[in-house]
Amino acid sequence: INSSLDNLGQAEVVVPAVDVIVPCFNENPNTLAECLESIASQDYAGKMQVYVVDDGSANRDVVAPVHRIYASDPRFSFILLANNVGKRKAQIAAIRSSSGDLVLNVDSDTILAADVVTKLVLKMHDPGIGAAMGQLIASNRNQTWLTRLIDMEYWLACNEERAAQARFGAVMCCCGPCAMYRRSALALLLDQYEAQFFRGKPSDFGEDRHLTILMLKAGFRTEYVPDAIAATVVPHSLRPYLRQQLRWARSTFRDTFLAWRLLPELDGYLTLDVIGQNLGPLLLAISSLAALAQLLIDGSIPWWTGLTIAAMTTVRCCVAALRARELRFIGFSLHTPINICLLLPLRAYALCTLSNSDWLSRKVTDMPTEEGKQPVILHPNAGRSPAGVGGRLLLFVR
């Protein structure tokens, strides 16, 4: 990959400069350290600058040692915002403070494979591509039954939905944990991105989906790079998982109007895909409610509904297991009752509470308890470039 990139760089005289932006809010210091180390260790031939934006965290004193270990790396800059302004505005602060040809957004709980930047840059060589995302996996996959389920959900979302959309150059959501954007495209869209309102209130979440749709609306293509692997922390219990799904459902509904307006310009398959994503859950909800009504009214068991849902679930899971060559995907069948009993009612609630812009995530840092507390382990060379002595810490307090 690097030899290909070197040849590409020689042909174009210079390899694209990349700005990596990492917004942080009340992040666990161990998690942040792993994220920054994975960025510092990128095997990329071109210039790379990293902007870590602390969005008014309440635990800034706890993460300060992590900041200090990277202060000697000239590639790293730290932007300390005086108040919490939200992930979107934190990203924009760094975008406006940087100047690289490409911008890579990385969540602070995400670990990048060493070749992620290189592989995304190779995809972005085509000037018609405005954004590209990598494949997401769960870094804590083995923690609980739910994290295993979410990891399979991510695989299916990336390698079925996003991969199919990428065939037509129109990935509908370049996911936040690892997405690269062309700066020249961002320059055209940044004001629209910053000024998204819903019912007169600023829209503070769903930034990845909204920015992707703005890219498509402006005529740029959006792509998926399956071998650019990013591992991100996923919720390990139901309550935070449902909060996350509620936030995502609200952002999806808010941006559906923009997506519908794009349909005449999209391929017929993508039109069907967008309609299916909105109509499918509705049909499933109607079927489930009809079966429940039949059970309550005449006491008969709606076996045909259950059989149909079970058959569709089995087929989907078996196909996924064959494609991934992993039997564990048979276990994804557990997602069906969760979807029917929890996620469908949650989406209905999201539709009724679209004006609520609460982020619903951690208010204070998720630190380990005293019994399970572990020190932040930073490798002596973490965050240091080969030429990396004599760098300085840049602080932008806003």
Residue-range domain boundaries for the chain = 18-237
pLDDT > 70: percent of the chain: 84
- Residues 15-49 have pLDDT tens digits of 999 999 999 999 999 999 999 999 999 999 999 99
CA 160/CA 157 separation, integer angstroms = 6
H/E element holding 350?
Answer: helix 344-352
For 332-372, the pLDDT digits (tens) are 999 999 999 999 999 989 988 887 766 655 554 444 433 33
**242 by DSSP, 3-state: which?**
helix
pLDDT tens string 262-306: 777 777 778 887 788 778 887 888 888 888 888 888 888 778 888
The set of residues, in sequence order, having a beta carbon less than 8 Å from that of 144 and lying 6+ positions away, is 236, 237
Distances (CA, A) of 369 to 57, 60, 234, 311, 365: 20, 18, 19, 44, 12
**18-237: in CATH 3.90.550.10:** yes
Per-residue pLDDT tens digits for 128-156? 999 999 999 999 999 999 999 999 999 99
Q: What is the pLDDT of residue 6?
A: 56
Contact (Cβ atoms closer than 8 angstroms) between residue 69 and residue 83 = no
The DSSP bridge partners found for residue 368 are none
Residue 384 predicted with pLDDT over 90? no
Token digits of residue 392 = 């300085």
The C-alpha torsion from 43 through 71 and 231 to 7, rounded to 10°, is -20
Longest dimension (CA), the chain: 79
d(C-alpha 159, C-alpha 181), whole Å:
21
Closest by CA to 343, choosing from 258, 269, 280, is 280
Is the pLDDT at 377 greater than 70? The verdict is no
- Flag the least confident range among 71-80, 310-319, 376-385: 376-385
What does the alpha-carbon distance between residue 54 and residue 70 come to, in Å, rounded to a whole number? Answer: 14
Does 388 score more than 60 pLDDT?
Answer: no
Q: Considering just the CA atoms, what is the radius of gyration of the chain in Å?
A: 22
**Strand partners for 48:** 18
Give the pLDDT band of residue 11 (cuts 50, 70, 90).
very low
- Mind listing the pLDDT tens digit for each residue in 178-219? 999 999 999 999 999 988 767 666 677 778 999 999 999 999
What pLDDT does residue 381 have?
Answer: 37
